[in-house]
Chain A
Amino acid sequence: MTVAPPAPAPARRHRPPDPRAHLSHRLAERGIDRTLWLLLPGVVFLVALFIYPLAYGLGLSFQPLKSTDPLYNYKQFFTDHLQRDTIGTTLRISLPAALVNVIASVPIAYRMRGRMRGKRFITTMLVIPITLGTVLTADGMLKFFDPAGGWFNKTLFALHIRTPDQPVLLINNYWGVVISLIISGFPFAFLLILSYLSGIDPSLDAAASTLGASPRRRFWQITFPLLAPGLAITFCLTFVLAFSVFPSAYLVGNPTSTTRVISIAAYEARSVETNDSKASTIALIMAVIELLVISVVLFGRGRLYRGSTGGKG
């Protein structure tokens, strides 16, 4: 047996240079740096105003008043067609309203994206409905669309488009709620889309035109793909606004049948039946449905190009 000579002890005085980057660089690569502190206020608010109430409501929904079955409220909701149908009713109102808001905003914002005479005036006019609030809008609609004395029907009668025994009914029904939601949701959609559009570098459009693209093709091949992620976000926001519709469903709708939306069901559970547990259940179902719709839209958005649009942001 031979004894191996002892290996020379490695020189310990000079630490060999670490081939890896400094810890702070590696953390930054994963998005961890001091700017994370900027999230703190948001996180505090999120916990205080969202996570806590949500957890509380969730707990409440599993403690039904009339049964020991924790899922009683949920089973009840989906078996009672009066309750269950509110989902369909709400979607039938909010999806078209959100869609119309987005689709109507695009051409107007597209026309107004550059510098334009009277842009500020038009923007102000379009945005005024935000300041009115749903109740005032509803009141105005009730007067304007009144089947007998409203200007709308009076004009139709005067033009002999309709006779007084056949007025156009746009209040106290489905259409009243949809119109009210469009009036109140449009300004949001328009402002959002206008800002998304001004974020797209106008020289892209110019470049496409020198390459022979007609205005139509420039819109569909250049502007629209760059705008689409913004449209998805805008749709989600206006959809959420419309989905929780309550005042207009009551005021200009038909809250006992065609516009008995889910928030009315929740309101009745809370205020008429004083059943907080049931109300929480309905509110949670509402949240889940909103989440589902938003996930579908955002999943679609995830497949789009979402990088820089080269504009002034």
Chain B
Amino acid sequence: MSDRRFDHLRLEQVRRRFGDKVVLDDLNLQIAGGEFVALLGPSGCGKSTALNCLAGLLPLSGGSIWLDQRRVDTQPPEKRGFGMVFQNYALFPHMSVRRNVGFGLAMRGTGRQETRRRVDEALRLVQLTPYADRLPGQLSGGQQQRVAIARAIVIEPPLVLMDEPLSNLDAALRLDMRTEIRRLHQSLGLTTIYVTHDQEEALSLADRLVVLREGVVQQVGTPEELYRSPVNPYVASFMGYRNLLPMTVTGRNGDEATVHGFGIELTGMARGRFDTGPATVAVRPEDFVVGVEPANPQNHIRIAVEVVEYHGREQAIQARLPEGEVLRLRSSNRVSRGDTVSAWVRHDHVLVFGEQLDGPPVEVAAGPSAGVAANDSAPSTAGAPS
């Protein structure tokens, strides 16, 4: 078995094809021991494939994986000793919850007393002590998911791979388990790679995020870096920029760019090298200030409110720009359907990307502020041919 701790896990040019389809394209990533990394991306972008490659369940089509100086991609999964929480749980249906959780310890030849103590502890952590003697088929989906988590962490592996481990839990339990996973990670020093498509989960849990799109890494960085400075509209869409408007750049002044479209003019922070031409403008709904007349007319627009949803303290508003496009806003100032109101957004809350959202999944050329994404992993090159 592998040693508990390691300095670095390195993925070098890891690539995986299914037939002709490249599902993981030259994945380069370096993860420090003890780090919590979230893999973020929409359904089908290759997250599970990446985990399976790491765990040794799928052979690589190219590249290598290193644990410090040890090459692990040539080892079978049972020799790697990584814990894995499967997306479909993969609990052994013929074994009780207790035996499921104890399976990894049994394989390691852990003594009976020790096994019992650690299994009890793990079951307590996932709040399943009363269910220890049931079969998995007699548990709810969320309970099964927690058994899967307990089974993976009870062996205290050097690296835990979690494939959407909280997807089936209700909101309250999800928050509890999220805290629990974070706590486990810290107290056991487990290095964790966590797959999710939930932005909030990724931001709140991870030390670093990796955003994937069709198997290509888009950006790697701390939650703060990604949240503040997404490198392209795609990453922005994952970081809460729900308004992604195709507009046209009419002026560029250093870091700032002015864009036109849909009957409005906005000034925002330019991301990337461009002077004029088509661009994507990203704004978060909550960055708008609605219904207040600002002193400065810059970034001041008028919108027609179409849908208002009550969200407690705030309202979620769907409105239309003078020339058609839909805009989403949040506001604590009450508005109602049919109103025409003014909205304002600070220019540093507006991001202007010199590319289309629907463009090919490529890494943007490093712009003036792309330095924030700096880390020790090499960004993949644009549209690398196979």
Contacts and interface: CB of A to CB of B under 8 A. Distances in A.
- The listed residue with most A CB atoms (<10 A of its CB), out of B52, B88, B91, B92, is B92
Contacts of A217: 107
Contact of B90 (A203, A213, A307): A203
A201 interface: yes
A307 B78 contact: no
Given A212-B104, A212-B108, A308-B137, A207 B92 contact: yes
Contacts of A214: 78
Contacts of A222: 92
A169 to B, nearest CB: 46
Contacts of A310: 90, 93
Main SS at interface, chain A: helix
Interface centre among B57, B76, B135 (most CB of A within 10 A): B57
A154 to B, nearest CB: 45
A313 B83 CA distance: 27
B93 A206 contact: no
A206 B90 contact: yes
Interface residues of A, number: 22
B86 interface: yes
Contacts of B82: 210
Nearest to A222: B92
A241 B137 CA distance: 35
B216 interface: no
B81 interface: yes
Interface string B60-91: 00000000000000001110111110101011
A217 B76 CA distance: 14
A225 interface: yes
Contacts of A208: 92, 103, 107
B94 A210 contact: no
A133 B121 CA distance: 60
B86 A206 contact: yes
B151 interface: yes
A75 to B, nearest CB: 48
B77 A206 contact: yes
B215 to A, nearest CB: 21
Given A204-B90, A206-B57, A305-B94, A211 B104 contact: yes
Contact of A207 (B1, B84, B135): B84
Contact of B84 (A210, A305, A307): A210
Given A309-B93, A310-B93, A213 B78 contact: yes
A226 B93 contact: yes
Among A203, A208, A212, the most chain B Cβ lie within 10 Å of the Cβ of A212
Contact of B57 (A210, A225, A305, A308): A210
A214 B106 CA distance: 12
Interface in A14-44: none
Given A217-B107, A307-B137, A308-B137, A209 B57 contact: yes
Contact of A213 (B1, B94, B107, B135): B107
Interface in A105-136: none
B245 interface: no
Interface in B106-133: 107-108
Nearest to A217: B107
Nearest to B108: A212
Given A206-B86, A212-B78, A307 B104 contact: no
B55 interface: yes
Given A203-B86, A307-B137, A209 B76 contact: yes
Given A204-B90, A226-B94, A209 B56 contact: yes
Interface string B134-163: 010100000000000001100100000100
Contacts of A226: 93-94
Contact of A212 (B90, B135, B155): B155
Nearest to B77: A209
B88 A203 contact: yes
Interface in A199-258: 201, 203-204, 206-214, 217, 221-222, 225-226
Given A207-B92, A212-B1, A213-B107, 11 more contacts: A201-B90, A208-B103, A210-B56, A210-B77, A210-B78, A210-B80, A211-B151, A212-B155, A214-B78, A225-B94, A307-B94
Of all A-B residue pairs in the complex, the 5 with the closest CB atoms, nearest first, are A305-B94, A211-B104, A207-B90, A212-B107, A209-B77
23 contacts: A201-B90, A203-B86, A204-B93, A206-B52, A207-B86, A207-B91, A208-B92, A208-B107, A210-B56, A210-B57, A210-B77, A210-B80, A210-B84, A211-B83, A211-B103, A212-B104, A213-B107, A225-B94, A305-B94, A305-B135, A307-B93, A307-B137, A310-B93
